[in-house]
Structure 1
Protein backbone atom coordinates (compact mmCIF):
# COMPACT_ATOMS: atom_id res chain seq x y z
CA UNK A 1 0.00 0.00 0.00
CA UNK A 2 1.35 3.42 -0.90
CA UNK A 3 2.37 5.76 1.87
CA UNK A 4 0.92 9.24 1.39
CA UNK A 5 4.23 11.09 1.22
CA UNK A 6 5.24 12.28 -2.21
CA UNK A 7 8.54 13.50 -3.56
CA UNK A 8 8.60 16.13 -6.33
CA UNK A 9 11.35 17.64 -8.39
CA UNK A 10 13.72 17.34 -11.33
CA UNK A 11 15.23 13.94 -12.05
CA UNK A 12 18.93 13.23 -11.83
CA UNK A 13 19.68 9.67 -12.95
CA UNK A 14 22.14 7.75 -10.76
CA UNK A 15 21.65 4.43 -12.51
CA UNK A 16 18.81 2.72 -14.33
CA UNK A 17 16.79 2.03 -11.17
CA UNK A 18 17.99 4.82 -8.86
CA UNK A 19 17.21 8.53 -9.18
CA UNK A 20 17.63 11.74 -7.27
CA UNK A 21 14.28 13.53 -7.36
CA UNK A 22 14.31 17.01 -5.92
CA UNK A 23 17.38 16.10 -3.88
CA UNK A 24 15.88 12.86 -2.48
CA UNK A 25 17.56 9.55 -3.38
CA UNK A 26 14.85 7.27 -4.81
CA UNK A 27 15.07 3.56 -5.57
CA UNK A 28 12.37 2.72 -8.12
CA UNK A 29 9.87 0.22 -6.73
CA UNK A 30 9.72 -3.36 -8.08
CA UNK A 31 12.39 -3.04 -10.78
CA UNK A 32 16.03 -4.14 -10.83
CA UNK A 33 18.64 -2.97 -13.32
CA UNK A 34 22.26 -4.02 -13.90
CA UNK A 35 24.85 -2.31 -11.73
CA UNK A 36 26.90 0.42 -13.40
CA UNK A 37 29.97 -1.84 -13.60
CA UNK A 38 28.06 -4.93 -14.71
CA UNK A 39 28.82 -6.42 -18.10
CA UNK A 40 26.74 -8.56 -20.44
CA UNK A 41 27.77 -10.88 -23.24
CA UNK A 42 26.56 -10.36 -26.80
CA UNK A 43 25.36 -13.17 -29.07
CA UNK A 44 28.86 -13.15 -30.59
CA UNK A 45 30.51 -13.67 -27.20
CA UNK A 46 31.83 -10.13 -26.74
CA UNK A 47 31.68 -8.38 -23.37
CA UNK A 48 29.42 -5.33 -23.34
CA UNK A 49 29.16 -2.67 -20.60
CA UNK A 50 25.41 -3.05 -20.28
CA UNK A 51 25.16 -1.45 -16.82
CA UNK A 52 26.48 1.83 -18.15
CA UNK A 53 24.45 1.47 -21.35
CA UNK A 54 21.08 1.11 -19.61
CA UNK A 55 21.95 4.02 -17.32
CA UNK A 56 22.66 6.16 -20.39
CA UNK A 57 19.30 5.17 -21.91
CA UNK A 58 17.37 6.13 -18.78
CA UNK A 59 19.38 9.34 -18.47
CA UNK A 60 18.58 10.33 -22.07
CA UNK A 61 14.89 9.69 -21.45
CA UNK A 62 14.33 11.21 -18.00
CA UNK A 63 17.27 13.41 -16.91
CA UNK A 64 16.06 16.88 -15.92
CA UNK A 65 12.36 16.03 -16.28
CA UNK A 66 10.00 16.91 -13.45
CA UNK A 67 8.85 13.82 -11.55
CA UNK A 68 6.36 13.01 -8.82
CA UNK A 69 7.09 9.94 -6.73
CA UNK A 70 4.71 8.13 -4.38
CA UNK A 71 6.68 6.56 -1.55
CA UNK A 72 6.19 2.84 -0.95
CA UNK A 73 8.92 2.04 1.56
CA UNK A 74 12.45 2.78 2.74
CA UNK A 75 15.25 0.35 1.89
CA UNK A 76 18.12 -0.81 4.10
CA UNK A 77 20.38 1.87 2.59
CA UNK A 78 18.01 4.62 3.73
CA UNK A 79 16.70 5.34 0.24
CA UNK A 80 13.09 6.15 -0.48
CA UNK A 81 11.49 3.32 -2.47
CA UNK A 82 8.84 4.81 -4.72
CA UNK A 83 6.83 4.70 -7.92
CA UNK A 84 7.64 7.76 -10.00
CA UNK A 85 5.81 9.43 -12.87
CA UNK A 86 6.84 12.04 -15.43
CA UNK A 87 3.91 13.65 -17.24
CA UNK A 88 1.74 10.65 -16.44
CA UNK A 89 4.36 8.10 -17.55
CA UNK A 90 5.32 5.48 -14.96
CA UNK A 91 9.14 5.52 -15.09
CA UNK A 92 9.44 1.95 -13.82
CA UNK A 93 6.99 0.66 -16.41
CA UNK A 94 8.77 2.43 -19.25
CA UNK A 95 12.23 1.27 -18.14
CA UNK A 96 11.13 -2.37 -17.87
CA UNK A 97 9.12 -2.21 -21.11
CA UNK A 98 12.19 -0.92 -22.96
CA UNK A 99 14.28 -3.80 -21.61
CA UNK A 100 16.55 -1.52 -19.55
CA UNK A 101 15.67 -3.28 -16.29
CA UNK A 102 13.83 -6.32 -15.00
CA UNK A 103 10.70 -6.73 -12.93
CA UNK A 104 11.82 -7.27 -9.32
CA UNK A 105 9.12 -9.78 -8.45
CA UNK A 106 10.47 -10.26 -4.95
CA UNK A 107 9.11 -6.80 -4.14
CA UNK A 108 6.07 -6.65 -6.38
CA UNK A 109 4.46 -7.96 -9.54
CA UNK A 110 3.76 -4.47 -10.87
CA UNK A 111 5.89 -4.88 -14.02
CA UNK A 112 5.72 -8.63 -14.57
CA UNK A 113 3.80 -8.39 -17.85
CA UNK A 114 5.95 -5.48 -19.07
CA UNK A 115 9.08 -7.59 -18.68
CA UNK A 116 7.49 -10.57 -20.42
CA UNK A 117 6.53 -8.37 -23.38
CA UNK A 118 10.07 -6.97 -23.58
CA UNK A 119 11.48 -10.50 -23.45
CA UNK A 120 9.25 -11.71 -26.29
CA UNK A 121 10.24 -8.68 -28.37
CA UNK A 122 13.96 -9.19 -27.53
CA UNK A 123 14.23 -5.56 -26.39
CA UNK A 124 17.20 -4.08 -24.56
CA UNK A 125 18.89 -6.44 -22.10
CA UNK A 126 16.89 -9.39 -23.39
CA UNK A 127 19.20 -9.48 -26.41
CA UNK A 128 22.22 -10.23 -24.19
CA UNK A 129 23.39 -12.88 -21.76
CA UNK A 130 23.85 -11.67 -18.20
CA UNK A 131 23.47 -12.53 -14.56
CA UNK A 132 20.49 -11.14 -12.76
CA UNK A 133 21.51 -7.89 -11.02
CA UNK A 134 20.81 -9.51 -7.62
CA UNK A 135 23.14 -12.43 -8.42
CA UNK A 136 25.79 -10.01 -9.68
CA UNK A 137 25.68 -8.03 -6.43
CA UNK A 138 26.05 -11.20 -4.42
CA UNK A 139 28.92 -12.41 -6.60
CA UNK A 140 30.71 -9.08 -6.46
CA UNK A 141 30.46 -9.05 -2.68
CA UNK A 142 32.13 -12.44 -2.45
CA UNK A 143 34.54 -12.00 -5.36
CA UNK A 144 35.00 -15.74 -5.68
CA UNK A 145 32.19 -16.74 -8.04
CA UNK A 146 32.55 -15.59 -11.66
CA UNK A 147 29.88 -13.09 -12.74
CA UNK A 148 29.89 -14.78 -16.16
CA UNK A 149 30.12 -18.61 -16.14
CA UNK A 150 32.12 -18.43 -19.38
CA UNK A 151 34.80 -16.19 -17.84
CA UNK A 152 36.10 -18.11 -14.85
CA UNK A 153 39.81 -17.25 -14.85
CA UNK A 154 40.81 -15.09 -11.89
CA UNK A 155 43.31 -12.28 -12.54
CA UNK A 156 44.74 -11.63 -9.08
CA UNK A 157 47.17 -8.88 -8.04
CA UNK A 158 49.55 -9.65 -5.18
CA UNK A 159 53.07 -8.84 -3.98
CA UNK A 160 54.23 -11.31 -6.62
CA UNK A 161 52.60 -9.32 -9.41
CA UNK A 162 49.67 -9.99 -11.75
CA UNK A 163 48.91 -13.71 -11.67
CA UNK A 164 45.95 -15.59 -13.09
CA UNK A 165 44.44 -18.75 -11.65
CA UNK A 166 42.37 -21.26 -13.62
CA UNK A 167 39.81 -23.65 -12.10
CA UNK A 168 41.46 -26.68 -10.52
CA UNK A 169 44.66 -24.94 -9.46
CA UNK A 170 45.72 -24.98 -5.79
CA UNK A 171 44.78 -21.39 -4.97
CA UNK A 172 41.81 -20.94 -7.30
CA UNK A 173 38.99 -21.43 -4.79
CA UNK A 174 40.51 -19.25 -2.07
CA UNK A 175 41.35 -16.39 -4.47
CA UNK A 176 38.88 -13.51 -4.42
CA UNK A 177 38.70 -10.89 -7.16
CA UNK A 178 38.48 -7.26 -6.11
CA UNK A 179 37.80 -5.27 -9.27
CA UNK A 180 38.24 -1.98 -7.38
CA UNK A 181 41.93 -2.93 -7.00
CA UNK A 182 42.30 -3.61 -10.71
CA UNK A 183 41.82 -7.36 -10.46
CA UNK A 184 39.89 -8.97 -13.30
CA UNK A 185 38.00 -11.96 -14.57
CA UNK A 186 39.19 -13.44 -17.87
CA UNK A 187 37.44 -15.65 -20.40
CA UNK A 188 40.61 -17.37 -21.66
CA UNK A 189 44.26 -17.81 -20.72
CA UNK A 190 45.25 -16.02 -23.91
CA UNK A 191 43.16 -13.01 -22.90
CA UNK A 192 44.85 -12.93 -19.48
CA UNK A 193 48.35 -13.15 -20.96
CA UNK A 194 47.57 -10.41 -23.48
CA UNK A 195 46.40 -8.17 -20.62
CA UNK A 196 49.70 -8.64 -18.80
CA UNK A 197 48.93 -11.41 -16.31
CA UNK A 198 51.13 -14.52 -15.95
CA UNK A 199 49.89 -18.01 -15.06
CA UNK A 200 50.07 -19.27 -11.48
CA UNK A 201 52.67 -22.00 -11.02
CA UNK A 202 50.24 -24.34 -9.25
Structure 2
Protein backbone atom coordinates (compact mmCIF):
# COMPACT_ATOMS: atom_id res chain seq x y z
CA UNK A 1 0.00 0.00 0.00
CA UNK A 2 2.83 2.41 0.87
CA UNK A 3 4.48 1.78 -2.51
CA UNK A 4 1.16 2.47 -4.25
CA UNK A 5 0.76 5.81 -2.43
CA UNK A 6 4.30 6.85 -3.33
CA UNK A 7 3.73 5.91 -6.97
CA UNK A 8 0.45 7.86 -7.02
CA UNK A 9 2.19 10.95 -5.65
CA UNK A 10 4.90 10.70 -8.28
CA UNK A 11 2.36 10.37 -11.08
CA UNK A 12 0.50 13.46 -9.82
CA UNK A 13 3.76 15.42 -9.97
CA UNK A 14 4.54 14.51 -13.56
CA UNK A 15 4.20 17.51 -15.90
CA UNK A 16 1.07 17.68 -18.03
CA UNK A 17 1.27 19.10 -21.53
CA UNK A 18 -0.49 22.44 -22.00
CA UNK A 19 -3.08 20.72 -24.17
CA UNK A 20 -4.06 18.59 -21.15
CA UNK A 21 -4.47 21.57 -18.80
CA UNK A 22 -7.84 23.33 -18.56
CA UNK A 23 -7.93 26.67 -16.72
CA UNK A 24 -11.30 26.74 -14.94
CA UNK A 25 -10.83 30.10 -13.23
CA UNK A 26 -8.03 32.20 -11.79
CA UNK A 27 -7.21 29.66 -9.08
CA UNK A 28 -8.35 26.32 -10.51
CA UNK A 29 -6.72 23.97 -13.02
CA UNK A 30 -7.97 20.68 -14.32
CA UNK A 31 -5.35 18.18 -15.40
CA UNK A 32 -6.92 15.08 -16.84
CA UNK A 33 -9.67 14.04 -14.43
CA UNK A 34 -8.14 15.88 -11.44
CA UNK A 35 -9.10 19.41 -10.47
CA UNK A 36 -6.56 21.45 -8.46
CA UNK A 37 -7.10 24.66 -6.53
CA UNK A 38 -3.86 26.63 -6.37
CA UNK A 39 -2.77 26.55 -2.75
CA UNK A 40 -2.38 29.74 -0.73
CA UNK A 41 -4.28 32.16 -2.96
CA UNK A 42 -7.74 33.45 -3.70
CA UNK A 43 -8.99 35.11 -6.88
CA UNK A 44 -12.22 36.77 -8.02
CA UNK A 45 -14.95 34.34 -9.00
CA UNK A 46 -15.95 34.20 -12.64
CA UNK A 47 -18.99 36.42 -12.11
CA UNK A 48 -17.24 39.01 -9.94
CA UNK A 49 -17.06 42.64 -11.06
CA UNK A 50 -14.23 45.04 -10.17
CA UNK A 51 -13.50 48.64 -11.11
CA UNK A 52 -10.49 49.78 -13.12
CA UNK A 53 -8.51 52.96 -12.41
CA UNK A 54 -11.14 54.98 -14.34
CA UNK A 55 -13.95 53.59 -12.16
CA UNK A 56 -15.31 51.52 -15.06
CA UNK A 57 -16.67 48.05 -14.19
CA UNK A 58 -14.86 45.06 -15.68
CA UNK A 59 -15.18 41.29 -15.36
CA UNK A 60 -12.20 40.70 -13.10
CA UNK A 61 -13.03 37.03 -12.51
CA UNK A 62 -12.74 36.40 -16.25
CA UNK A 63 -9.62 38.58 -16.26
CA UNK A 64 -7.98 36.48 -13.53
CA UNK A 65 -8.74 33.30 -15.46
CA UNK A 66 -7.25 34.79 -18.62
CA UNK A 67 -4.16 35.93 -16.70
CA UNK A 68 -3.56 32.39 -15.44
CA UNK A 69 -4.06 30.95 -18.93
CA UNK A 70 -1.57 33.50 -20.31
CA UNK A 71 0.99 32.58 -17.65
CA UNK A 72 0.81 28.94 -18.68
CA UNK A 73 0.68 29.54 -22.41
CA UNK A 74 1.85 26.46 -24.29
CA UNK A 75 4.06 25.18 -21.48
CA UNK A 76 3.66 22.01 -19.44
CA UNK A 77 2.42 22.17 -15.84
CA UNK A 78 2.99 19.89 -12.86
CA UNK A 79 1.08 19.94 -9.56
CA UNK A 80 2.20 18.55 -6.23
CA UNK A 81 -0.90 17.18 -4.54
CA UNK A 82 -1.38 18.73 -1.07
CA UNK A 83 -4.54 16.84 -0.17
CA UNK A 84 -8.27 17.37 -0.47
CA UNK A 85 -9.62 20.90 -0.79
CA UNK A 86 -11.44 21.69 2.49
CA UNK A 87 -14.16 23.48 0.49
CA UNK A 88 -14.88 20.61 -1.89
CA UNK A 89 -13.50 17.13 -1.27
CA UNK A 90 -13.52 16.10 -4.94
CA UNK A 91 -11.05 18.90 -5.70
CA UNK A 92 -7.40 18.79 -4.66
CA UNK A 93 -5.09 21.47 -3.34
CA UNK A 94 -2.04 21.80 -5.54
CA UNK A 95 1.35 23.47 -5.56
CA UNK A 96 1.49 23.90 -9.32
CA UNK A 97 4.45 25.09 -11.37
CA UNK A 98 5.32 25.53 -15.00
CA UNK A 99 7.91 23.04 -16.15
CA UNK A 100 11.41 24.46 -15.64
CA UNK A 101 10.31 27.16 -13.16
CA UNK A 102 10.55 27.20 -9.37
CA UNK A 103 8.04 29.97 -8.56
CA UNK A 104 4.55 28.50 -8.29
CA UNK A 105 1.66 29.64 -10.44
CA UNK A 106 -0.15 30.81 -7.32
CA UNK A 107 2.74 33.04 -6.29
CA UNK A 108 3.02 34.45 -9.81
CA UNK A 109 -0.69 35.30 -9.82
CA UNK A 110 -0.24 37.22 -6.56
CA UNK A 111 2.85 38.97 -7.94
CA UNK A 112 0.89 40.10 -10.99
CA UNK A 113 -1.92 41.40 -8.80
CA UNK A 114 -4.62 39.03 -10.07
CA UNK A 115 -4.75 37.01 -6.84
CA UNK A 116 -4.54 37.82 -3.16
CA UNK A 117 -2.77 35.94 -0.41
CA UNK A 118 -5.31 33.57 1.14
CA UNK A 119 -6.63 35.26 4.31
CA UNK A 120 -5.19 33.67 7.43
CA UNK A 121 -2.07 32.48 5.58
CA UNK A 122 1.25 34.30 5.18
CA UNK A 123 2.63 32.29 2.28
CA UNK A 124 2.50 35.12 -0.26
CA UNK A 125 1.88 38.13 2.01
CA UNK A 126 5.09 39.83 0.86
CA UNK A 127 4.18 39.37 -2.80
CA UNK A 128 0.74 40.81 -2.14
CA UNK A 129 2.17 43.85 -0.35
CA UNK A 130 4.50 44.53 -3.29
CA UNK A 131 1.68 44.19 -5.85
CA UNK A 132 -0.46 46.57 -3.78
CA UNK A 133 2.31 49.18 -3.58
CA UNK A 134 3.00 48.91 -7.32
CA UNK A 135 -0.73 49.03 -8.20
CA UNK A 136 -0.45 45.79 -10.16
CA UNK A 137 -3.49 44.06 -11.67
CA UNK A 138 -6.58 44.37 -9.48
CA UNK A 139 -4.81 46.77 -7.12
CA UNK A 140 -4.79 49.51 -9.78
CA UNK A 141 -8.53 49.88 -9.45
CA UNK A 142 -11.01 49.02 -6.70
CA UNK A 143 -12.39 45.62 -5.71
CA UNK A 144 -13.88 43.57 -2.91
CA UNK A 145 -11.97 40.61 -1.54
CA UNK A 146 -13.35 37.43 -3.16
CA UNK A 147 -14.62 36.14 0.19
CA UNK A 148 -16.52 39.39 0.74
CA UNK A 149 -18.06 39.12 -2.73
CA UNK A 150 -19.17 35.54 -2.08
CA UNK A 151 -20.88 36.60 1.14
CA UNK A 152 -22.35 39.69 -0.57
CA UNK A 153 -20.82 41.69 2.28
CA UNK A 154 -21.56 45.25 1.24
CA UNK A 155 -19.95 46.57 4.44
CA UNK A 156 -16.57 44.98 3.62
CA UNK A 157 -13.38 46.99 3.34
CA UNK A 158 -12.75 47.83 -0.32
CA UNK A 159 -9.29 47.24 -1.77
CA UNK A 160 -7.20 49.00 -4.41
CA UNK A 161 -5.59 52.34 -5.21
CA UNK A 162 -8.69 53.84 -6.85
CA UNK A 163 -11.20 53.30 -4.03
CA UNK A 164 -12.66 56.60 -2.80
CA UNK A 165 -14.31 57.02 0.58
CA UNK A 166 -16.49 59.83 -0.76
CA UNK A 167 -17.79 57.52 -3.51
CA UNK A 168 -18.25 54.40 -1.40
CA UNK A 169 -22.02 54.09 -1.87
CA UNK A 170 -21.75 54.31 -5.67
CA UNK A 171 -18.78 51.93 -5.69
CA UNK A 172 -20.59 49.32 -3.59
CA UNK A 173 -23.52 49.38 -6.01
CA UNK A 174 -21.14 48.58 -8.88
CA UNK A 175 -19.14 45.90 -7.04
CA UNK A 176 -22.24 44.15 -5.67
CA UNK A 177 -24.77 44.51 -8.51
CA UNK A 178 -28.34 43.42 -7.96
CA UNK A 179 -28.21 41.51 -11.25
CA UNK A 180 -24.97 40.03 -12.49
CA UNK A 181 -24.14 39.25 -16.11
CA UNK A 182 -23.61 35.61 -17.03
CA UNK A 183 -19.92 34.95 -17.83
CA UNK A 184 -19.26 32.88 -20.98
CA UNK A 185 -19.83 29.19 -20.32
CA UNK A 186 -21.07 29.74 -16.76
CA UNK A 187 -24.80 29.14 -17.00
CA UNK A 188 -25.63 27.79 -13.53
CA UNK A 189 -27.78 30.20 -11.51
CA UNK A 190 -27.20 30.66 -7.78
CA UNK A 191 -29.90 32.18 -5.60
CA UNK A 192 -29.44 33.13 -1.94
CA UNK A 193 -32.22 31.51 0.09
CA UNK A 194 -33.02 31.40 3.80
CA UNK A 195 -34.57 27.95 3.44
CA UNK A 196 -31.21 26.60 2.30
CA UNK A 197 -29.78 27.32 5.76
CA UNK A 198 -31.72 24.31 7.03
CA UNK A 199 -29.25 22.14 5.12
CA UNK A 200 -26.23 24.25 6.08
CA UNK A 201 -26.10 26.17 2.80
CA UNK A 202 -26.33 29.82 1.82
CA UNK A 203 -28.47 29.31 -1.27
CA UNK A 204 -29.80 27.11 -4.03
CA UNK A 205 -28.45 26.62 -7.53
CA UNK A 206 -30.38 25.85 -10.71
CA UNK A 207 -28.90 24.29 -13.84
CA UNK A 208 -30.56 24.08 -17.23
CA UNK A 209 -32.10 20.71 -16.37
CA UNK A 210 -34.11 22.24 -13.51
CA UNK A 211 -37.78 23.11 -13.94
CA UNK A 212 -37.01 26.27 -11.94
CA UNK A 213 -34.20 27.43 -14.25
CA UNK A 214 -36.26 29.69 -16.49
CA UNK A 215 -38.99 32.07 -15.53
CA UNK A 216 -38.66 34.00 -12.30
CA UNK A 217 -35.29 32.60 -11.15
CA UNK A 218 -33.15 35.73 -11.17
CA UNK A 219 -29.63 34.78 -10.10
CA UNK A 220 -27.57 36.41 -7.38
CA UNK A 221 -24.52 34.46 -8.59
CA UNK A 222 -23.39 32.56 -11.72
CA UNK A 223 -21.33 29.37 -11.61
CA UNK A 224 -19.42 27.48 -14.27
CA UNK A 225 -20.03 24.04 -12.76
CA UNK A 226 -22.06 22.34 -10.06
CA UNK A 227 -18.80 21.73 -8.18
CA UNK A 228 -18.19 25.49 -8.08
CA UNK A 229 -21.72 26.12 -6.81
CA UNK A 230 -21.37 23.49 -4.07
CA UNK A 231 -17.98 24.86 -3.03
CA UNK A 232 -19.59 28.30 -2.63
CA UNK A 233 -22.20 26.87 -0.26
CA UNK A 234 -25.14 26.39 -2.65
CA UNK A 235 -27.17 23.19 -2.91
CA UNK A 236 -29.00 21.89 -5.98
CA UNK A 237 -32.67 22.85 -6.26
CA UNK A 238 -34.91 19.92 -5.43
CA UNK A 239 -36.70 20.05 -8.80
CA UNK A 240 -33.49 19.42 -10.76
CA UNK A 241 -32.42 16.23 -12.44
CA UNK A 242 -29.67 14.37 -10.59
CA UNK A 243 -26.91 15.28 -13.03
CA UNK A 244 -26.22 17.90 -15.66
CA UNK A 245 -23.60 19.65 -17.71
CA UNK A 246 -22.59 23.24 -17.06
Q: What TM-score bracket applies, with the shorter chain setting the length? A: 0.5 to 0.7
Question: Displacement of 1:154 after TM fit?
Answer: 4.3
Tell me by how many angstroms 1:23 deviates.
3.2
8 Å contact from structure 2 (residues 113, 132) kept in 1 = yes
| Partner Cα separation in structure 2 for residue 133 and residue 21 of structure 1 | 24
- How far is 1:51 from its partner? 1.0
Does 1:139 find its partner at 2:167? no
**Residues 122-131 or 85-94, more deviating:** 85-94
Could you tell me which residue of structure 2 aligns to residue 82 of structure 1?
A: 94
* Alpha-carbon contact 1:13-1:63 (below 8 Å) kept: no
Q: Which residue does the alignment assign to 1:150?
A: 173
8 Å contact from structure 2 (residues 55, 141) kept in 1? no
| Unaligned ranges ≥5, structure 1 | 141-145, 156-175, 182-202
Q: Contact 1:13 / 1:62 at 8 angstroms: preserved in 2?
A: no
The counterpart of 2:219, out of the listed 174, 178, 186, is 178
Shift of the 45–110 alpha-carbon distance from structure 1 to 2, 3 Å rule, reads same
Structure 2 Cα separation of the partners of residues 154 and 139 of structure 1? 10
Match of 1:30 among 31, 40, 43: 40
Pair 1:32–1:154, CA change in 2 (3 A)? closer
Higher helix share: 2
In structure 2, the residue matched to 1:102 is: 116
Aligned to 2:133: 120
Task: Check the 8 A contact 2:110/2:116 in 1, yes or no.
Answer: yes
Deviation at 1:109, TM superposition (A): 1.6
What's the CA shift for 1:20? 1.0
**Does residue 17 in structure 1 map to residue 35 in structure 2?**
no
Task: Return the offset for 1:22.
Answer: 3.6
RMSD over aligned Cα atoms: 2.9
Tell me which protein shows more strand as a share of its residues.
Answer: 1
TM, length-normalised to structure 2: 0.55
Instruction: Answer with 1 or 2: which has the greater Rg.
Output: 1
TM-aligned CA deviation for residue 153 of structure 1? 7.4
Instruction: Give the deviation of 1:80 after TM superposition.
Output: 0.5
Tell me the distance in 2 between the aligned counterparts of 1:149 and 1:110. 29
Q: 1:47 aligns with which of 50, 57, 60?
A: 57
